[in-house]
């Protein structure tokens, strides 16, 4: 017996993207966050980004596309993902895993910077503490969330809650949005000349 086709999985991803595209408020939010990110960089600030598990991998991917390149050559842009194993393991060992991102924000964040947090549930203690540290440090925050936003709902300067019931589908939309933000940042910076 042949294995089942994976067409339903692809169809589910397509359905959720269609749901996002049909949400005009979400599309406006995606654009306004791109404006904020570009404005931060134009003003000499930097973008910090963090997440757990697959979201950490997405955070690192986003940061490297700003510091390295996306589609074309350009000047590097200031972005840092909290992906350093030394920092993460030291902080988790000495203070607890719930502090791995907040201490990083306290160390590197400055007023005018923006922190992006990626969370499929919105309930991770270390992400909540990072947002609190950003607010205390004068940073704007962007929550890229799922599952209704969880405990993070309404706590970030900007938030986007994507549709989906499972972490994989939510992360797929998060990565797509992160790519559109890189594209949007580049377009806005090019427009400023």
Residues 58/146/125/127 CA torsion (nearest 10 deg):
40
On whether residue 2 sits in a domain, the answer given is no
Site of tokens 């993207």: 17
Residue 1: inside a domain: no
Answer yes or no: is 3 within a domain: no
Q: Is the pLDDT reported for residue 17 higher than 90?
A: yes
For the ranges 4-8, 53-57, 147-151, 162-166, the lowest mean pLDDT is seen at 4-8
Report strand pairing: 114-119 vs 47-51.
parallel
What is the sign, positive or negative, of the torsion defined by CA atoms of 73, 36, 156, 110? positive
The domain tally of the chain equals 1
Nearest of 106, 108, 115 to residue 50 by alpha carbon: 115
Looking at the domain assignment, is residue 138 inside a domain?
yes
145 domain-assigned: yes
Say which CATH number the domain at 185 has.
Answer: 3.40.50.10490
Q: Which two tokens stand for residue 110?
A: 């400055």
pTM of this prediction exceeds 0.75: yes
The tokens for 104 are 């990083």
| pLDDT tens by residue, 27-85 | 999 999 999 999 999 999 999 999 999 999 999 999 999 999 999 999 999 999 999 99
Buried b (16+ CB within 10 A) or exposed e, 131-145: bebbbebebbbbbbb
Expressed as residue numbers, the domain containing 27 is 8-192
Q: Is the pLDDT of residue 1 over 90?
A: no
């Amino acid at each position: 017996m042949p294995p089942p086709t994976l067409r339903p999985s692809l169809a589910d991803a397509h359905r959720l993207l269609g749901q996002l595209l049909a949400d005009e408020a979400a599309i406006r939010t995606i654009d306004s966050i791109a404006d904020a990110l570009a404005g931060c960089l134009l003003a000499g600030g930097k973008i910090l980004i963090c997440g757990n598990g697959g979201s950490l991998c997405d955070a690192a991917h986003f940061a490297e596309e700003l510091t390295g390149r996306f589609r074309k050559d350009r000047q590097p842009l200031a972005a840092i993902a909290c992906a350093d194993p030394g920092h993460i393991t030291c902080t988790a060992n000495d203070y607890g895993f719930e502090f791995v991102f907040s201490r990083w924000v306290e160390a590197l964040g400055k007023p005018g910077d923006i922190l992006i947090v990626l969370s499929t549930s919105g309930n991770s203690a270390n992400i909540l503490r990072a947002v609190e540290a950003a607010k205390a440090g004068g940073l704007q925050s962007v929550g890229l969330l799922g599952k209704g936003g969880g405990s993070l709902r309404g706590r970030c300067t900007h938030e986007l809650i994507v549709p989906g019931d499972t972490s994989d589908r939510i992360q797929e939309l998060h990565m797509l949005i992160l790519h559109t933000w890189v594209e949007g940042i580049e377009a806005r910076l090019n427009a400023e000349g």
